[in-house]
Amino acid sequence: MKKSMVLFLCIILLLASSCSMSKSYGSKETPAPIGTAVTFQSKTSDDEPYIFSMTMKEVTRDEEAAKKFELADDEEALFFTVEIELQEFEDKGSGGLLFSNMFFTYLDENFEKYENSELQLSELTLNEKLSAGDKITRTVVIDIPKDGQGYVTYLDRLHFKVSE
């Protein structure tokens, strides 16, 4: 009885320590801070499983770009760098898993979707198919409300906090 009680307590402590050591970021409840890698796994519409990690970093706001893109006075251009690593993907003939700036959206502080125009510059566009093991770093630009402090999402599932 004493051995089983000690074993039970050891298992409880082990579970508690492993839960507190691994913090899960990227959800709506715990959006990832800038610079934090988030791992995501899912399946394509063709039922191809995949796992990738994404880190959002180097976030800047640019008023000159807002003028260049002819944004409304209450909008600004948000530039951010994303680092993406496709860790696992069993390609069944699709030619790779598509990553695109079109999959990014902005949510305001209340998680309401902002209808941005998905600004793109040809040299900044993210629109690539990756194979397992590929790693890329690209800059993306979207328009957001001026001084917006909300969230950038990818595929409406990964959430990154715009400000730290």
DSSP string, 126-146: -EEEE-TT-EEEEEEEEEEET
Span 51-57, mean pLDDT? 94
Q: Which domain holds residue 112?
A: 2-161
Q: Distance between CA 119 and CA 17 in Å, rounded?
A: 44
- Residue pLDDT, tens place only, 3-45: 544 333 333 333 333 222 235 889 999 999 999 999 999 988 8
110 φ/ψ angles, rounded to the nearest 5 degrees:
-100, 15
Query: Residue 68 corresponds to which tokens in the numbers above?
Result: 């260049």
Greatest alpha-carbon pair distance for the chain in Å reads 75
Q: How many domains does the chain have?
A: 1
Give the list of residues 6+ apart from residue 63 with CB closer than 8 angstroms, or none.
76, 77
- Helical residues (DSSP H) of the chain, grouped into ranges: 2-21, 63-68
User: What's the average model confidence in pLDDT over 140-162?
Assistant: 91
> Residue 11 maps to which CATH number?
2.60.40.1240
Mean pLDDT of 92-103: 89
- How does residue 130 score in pLDDT terms, banded at 50, 70 and 90? very high
Q: Which segment, 15-19, 58-62, 109-113, is predicted with the most confidence on average?
A: 109-113
